[in-house]
A and B are shown apart, each in its own frame.
Chain A
Amino acid sequence: MELLAEIGPWGAVATVAGIYAIFAMGLQVQVGHGGVDNFGQVAFFLIGAYASTILVEQHGMGLVAGTLAGMAIAMVAAVIVALPTLRLRGDFLAITTLAFGEILRNVAVNERGLTKGSAGIDAFTFRIDIVRELRRSLRDQDILVDRLAPLLILTWVLVLVVALVTWLLLRTPWGRVLRAVREDDAAVRALGKNAFAYRAQAMALGAAWAALAGTLYAWNQVHFSPSGFEPIVTFAGFVIIIAAGLGTIWGTVLMAILIQGVLIEGSRYWLDTGLPNAQEASLRYMVVGLALMLIVRFRPQGLFGSRAEMAAADE
Chain B
Amino acid sequence: MSEPLLQVDGITKRFGGLTAVDDVGFSLEPGTITALIGPNGAGKSTLFHCVSGFIRPDGGTVRFNGRGVSRRSAHGRAQLGMVRTFQIPTAFNRLTVFENVELAARDQPADRLVGALVPGLGRLRRSAIRTRTNDLLETFGLADKADDLAGELSGGQRKLLEFARVLMTEPQLLLLDEPLAGVNPALGERLFAHVNRLRSDHGMTFLFVEHDIRTVMDHSDRVLVMAQGALIADGDPETVRRDPAVVEAYLGGGE
Chain A residues within 8 Å of B, Cβ to Cβ: 169, 172-177, 179-180, 182-184, 186-195, 201, 205, 308-309, 311-315
A179→B93 CA distance, assembly (Å) = 10
Query: Are B79 and A173 in contact, CB atoms less than 8 angstroms apart?
Result: no
A197→B190 CA distance, assembly (Å) = 36
In the complex, 24 of the A-B residue pairs with CB atoms within 8 angstroms, ordered by the A residue number, are A169-B117, A172-B116, A173-B122, A174-B110, A180-B95, A183-B91, A183-B94, A186-B86, A188-B75, A189-B73, A190-B75, A190-B78, A190-B84, A190-B86, A191-B78, A191-B165, A191-B169, A193-B111, A195-B75, A308-B149, A314-B151, A315-B93, A315-B151, A315-B152
Least Cβ distance of B100 to chain A in Å?
Answer: 8
Closest to B84 in A: A190
Contacts of B151 in A (CB 8 A): 311-315
Query: Are B110 and A191 in contact, CB atoms less than 8 angstroms apart?
Result: no
Query: Are B94 and A176 in contact, CB atoms less than 8 angstroms apart?
Result: no
Q: Quick one: which of B76, B92, B110 contacts A172, CB cutoff 8 A?
A: B110
Query: Are A187 and B92 in contact, CB atoms less than 8 angstroms apart?
Result: yes
A313→B126 CA distance, assembly (Å) = 27
B window 73-112: CB within 8 A of A: 73-76, 78-79, 83-86, 90-95, 99-100, 102-104, 106, 108, 110-112
Chain B residues within 8 Å of A, Cβ to Cβ: 52, 54, 73-76, 78-79, 83-86, 90-95, 99-100, 102-104, 106, 108, 110-113, 115-117, 122, 126, 149-152, 165-166, 169
Closest to A246 in B: B94
Query: Are B75 and A189 in contact, CB atoms less than 8 angstroms apart?
Result: yes
Q: Quick one: which of A169, A173, A179, A315 contacts B108, CB cutoff 8 A?
A: A173
**Given A173-B111, A191-B104, CB of A309 within 8 Å of CB of B92:** no
Least Cβ distance of B98 to chain A in Å?
Answer: 10
A38→B104 CA distance, assembly (Å) = 27
Q: Quick one: which of A173, A183, A186, A195 contacts B110, CB cutoff 8 A?
A: A173
Q: Quick one: which of A182, A190, A314 contacts B85, CB cutoff 8 A?
A: A190
A132→B103 CA distance, assembly (Å) = 51
What 20 additional pairs, Cβ within 8 angstroms, besides A191-B78, A191-B103, A191-B169?
Answer: A172-B110, A172-B111, A173-B110, A175-B116, A180-B92, A180-B100, A183-B91, A184-B91, A186-B86, A188-B75, A190-B54, A190-B83, A190-B90, A193-B75, A194-B75, A311-B151, A313-B151, A315-B93, A315-B151, A315-B152
